[in-house]
Structure 1
Amino acid sequence: MRLVQPLVVFGTKVWLCRHHHHPATVNPAVFFNMTVHGEPLDHISFKLFADKVAKTAENFHALNIGDNGLRCKGSCFHRIIVGFMCQGGDFTGHNGTSGKSMCGVKSDDESFILKHMGPSILSMGNAGANTNCSQFFTCTAKTEWSDGRPVVFGKVEEGMNIVEAMECFSPGMAEPPSSSLMLTTDNSNKFDLKVAPW
């Protein structure tokens, strides 16, 4: 099966196979083009570990291309803790209290085979066992105490400096800050990071 040119759909880079409509890459990439106050920052590119946690990776992938009408468009990074992580993806409540998976409101933990080994790890945000939805977080440090609870499903490939810079918006806060970072989509279907007044 021959791979043809890459297609960018809603911020997700996938390789299309001739005569097929599904990604041919084992571990697809998802990226966000970032801005703050309308000023371009750069992009964050995530590699999804679909070969290890296929359902969890597919959930994140689907929510970023808008499958089934559900998508992370307009969601914010509602929880930013210095030396730990930046969390977002609550596209229903916009404050960390909710979210949906592509299978419904919540989905089960798929596997804990992957660990929170250091900065750049992409993991599910949850409220306990088997409560995965659309929320995710990116580690800014090694967080081994998280192992066996949230499911690790990817890592930052490019733009870790942007994730680290996000910590400055909410130093040490565990609650939603007065200004939070928001993901929106423009007409070219690129993801933007903007500061939203809460």
Structure 2
Amino acid sequence: MESAKIKLYVGADFVSAFAMSTFVALKEKQLSFELVTLDLKARENYQPGYRDLSLTCKIPTLVHQGFALSESSAIAEYLDEIAPQPQKLFPLDTRQRARARQLQAWLRSDLLIIRKERPADLIYFGKKDTPLSDDALAAVDRLFFVADRLLKGGADHLFGDWSIADTDLAIMLNRLLANGDHVPARLAAYVRRQWDRDSVRAWMDIERTAPAVN
């Protein structure tokens, strides 16, 4: 495939968990791509040019040979189809692949309260000095239950070999870990292993400007 034609549109602050997931997927595929940034605070993602490209006005959006696609999980599936090697993003086993997709969908839909009270920018810019609400604590309990059940026996990865679902789960857990909230030691070690991947390090090495304090 002609990877030089890939563009990835992300927020200019480089803090979106979904943008990170897609960036990691491209790096794992060893595909070259151009990063295009949008000022989300200025609502550049709602301008007609980007709206017409992305359809949903969301980031990230990937453009490959004239085809534009948003939603990070859909992008990962697309990349696995067009570039099967060198690294698969999803498990080869049918049921494990289905479970990975289930986990991705759940992380994006059922844990909104965690994303609200522990936004991803905490990973880059420091702690939030507010305790978790009762609803958020209940969501955290569900998160720990699922993670513990899927990471059986202290496994390094969810499904034997690494998958993009590992990055997505680690990001959610790291919202808590980076803030100093309690995370079980085994899950904290899992996050550190995921954060040691070259693809994740490449994302973390991007220069960011901390938001102004009001």
TM-score by length of 2: 0.28
Give 1 or 2: higher strand fraction. Answer: 1
Give 1 or 2: higher helix fraction. Answer: 2
Which has more radius of gyration? 2
